[in-house]
Amino acid sequence: MDSLNKTQPEGRPIKVLHIAPTPFFSDRGCHVRIRGIINALNKRLVTNVLCTYNLGRDVDDIEIVRTAAIPGYTKQEAGPSVFKYLADILLFFKVCALIARRKPDIIHTHLHEGALLGWTARLLFFWQKIPLVFDMQGSLVGELEAHGYFKKFGFLRNLFCYIESLILRMPDQIVCSSQNSLDILRNEFNVNMANVNLVNDGADEFDHSEDKAVIKELSLPDDKSIILYTGGLVEAKGLTYLCDTILESSKRNTQCHFLVVGYPEQKLRDFCTRNGLLDRCTVVGRVPYEKLGAYLEIADIAVEPKLSGSGEASGKILNYMGAGLPVVCFDTASNRQILGDFGYYESTKHVSLTDQIEAVLADPAKAAEASAATRKLAYDEFSWDAAGKKIQDIYYSCLSQDIESTSRKRFL
């Protein structure tokens, strides 16, 4: 949406109910975006409350309302879970209670389940005519494919395509985190692009006060370059390609040591044990997001092994850029949107990032120039403040429209 019809006065405070059907906050990419957006909006004339699952930890400066606990539901990593169906039912009732009590001006939903829950709740409170904004972090079908869901239930793919198509018609405005997501909406789901907005993630700044303590505790080798990965250790996030890269680098005796921060880490630990790679890779496991800066400061090179068709952005790349690290990744549209000409891109036909890691090591001067350029790009072009300003404008635009009539037309 290039221009906004802002007949609604911009000085009006806005009450926003965020719906996040996920165990927020769990130190992973989806949650980092939700947190960044809400924190940015908190600095504006916007009052935010987040409704989410019982799992996860509280975050400073964000008001969080949680559902009741579900016995046996403890999973916090990304991916499907049978418990989520019950969690979403509890979340729906909690959302309805908040709408009745808080009377929000806007419902801002995160993830496809959130959009469906928000639309249903808005329907129950139809007289309030609450605008619905959907923050899309990739395709639902693409995400399920990346997690291998359709390998077991392939017959359900067409059904989920249809469900996703319906969900994408529910919001008054859609916010995309990447150009790739925007292209998916246009090319695969034929969404009205007048209702779609590209709002990039922001680069965070971290406290490095714990750097020395972390370096001493990890006992990393002094004679090798440190290759950092931070993020989920599941197939959808590129675990197989990360493993292949570690193994291939070892076979070539590349002078590097891998430092992996993320969870669930057991598969990676088992892989390293089976292949004799424990001296080539340090697996830290889960680290609070606020302490990520210490590990970014230690690293010499960063990798993003994700090769996914879901269309979601990569917030970890922005953190790599902000830390001044050369970034090695696959040549995808989302990665190029963020890194431009300054990334080290591996062909998507390959299964290892080792060639590009060696390219960085072979020309340190060129790598330093690329790092300086991406660091400047991270803070000039990708900021949470800019994201907050765009979303606030979207809110004002929604409030200036006849929501009831536009929603009705969309389903005719």
- Residue range 287-303: average pLDDT? 93
Q: Which of 118, 145, 135, 104 is nearest to 32 (CA)?
A: 135
User: ∠ at Cα 10 (169, 13), nearest 5°?
Assistant: 85
- Residue range 235-240: average pLDDT? 90
Cα 371 from Cα 227, distance rounded (Å): 14
Q: Give the percent of the chain with pLDDT over 70.
A: 90
Tokens representing 333 are: 């549209």
Render pLDDT for 265-278 as a digit per residue (tens, 0 to 9). Answer: 999 999 999 999 99
> Could you tell me which residue, 310 or 130, shows the higher pLDDT?
130
Residue with token string 């690329």: 370
- C-alpha distances (whole Å) from 166 to each of 82, 88, 116, 160, 408 are 22, 18, 9, 10, 14
Tokens representing 349 are: 């036909």
CB contact at 8 A, 229 and 339: no
pLDDT band at 348 (very low <50, low <70, confident <90, very high): confident
Domains, the chain, ranges and CATH? 14-202+384-410 (3.40.50.2000), 211-381 (3.40.50.2000)
How many separate helices (H) and strands (E) can be counted in the chain? 17, 13
Instruction: Determine the pLDDT at residue 402.
Output: 52
Instruction: Determine the pLDDT at residue 352.
Output: 93
Length of the chain: 412
Mean pLDDT for the chain overall = 88
- Residue range 336-354: average pLDDT? 92
pTM: 0.85
CB contact at 8 A, 338 and 203: no
Q: From edge to edge, which strands make up the β-sheet containing 301-304?
A: 281-285, 256-261, 225-230, 301-304, 327-330, 344-346
Amino acid of residue 378? A
Is the model's pLDDT at 148 over the cut of 90?
Answer: no
User: ∠ at Cα 210 (24, 268), nearest 5°?
Assistant: 55
CB contact at 8 A, 303 and 227: yes
Instruction: Determine the pLDDT at residue 400.
Output: 86
Instruction: Determine the pLDDT at residue 309.
Output: 57
- Residue range 314-322: average pLDDT? 90
Q: What is the DSSP letter of 142?
A: H
> Could you tell me which residue, 75 or 120, shows the higher pLDDT?
120
Cα 99 from Cα 87, distance rounded (Å): 18
> Could you tell me which residue, 216 or 32, shows the higher pLDDT?
32
Greatest mean pLDDT among 37-41, 147-151, 294-298 lies in 37-41
Q: How buried is residue 129: exposed, middle or buried, by Cβ count under 10 Å (0-12/13-18/19+)?
A: middle
- Residue range 297-316: average pLDDT? 82
List, as one string, the DSSP characters of 293-342.
Answer: HHHHHH-SEEEE----SS----HHHHHHHHTT--EEEE--HHHHHHHGGG
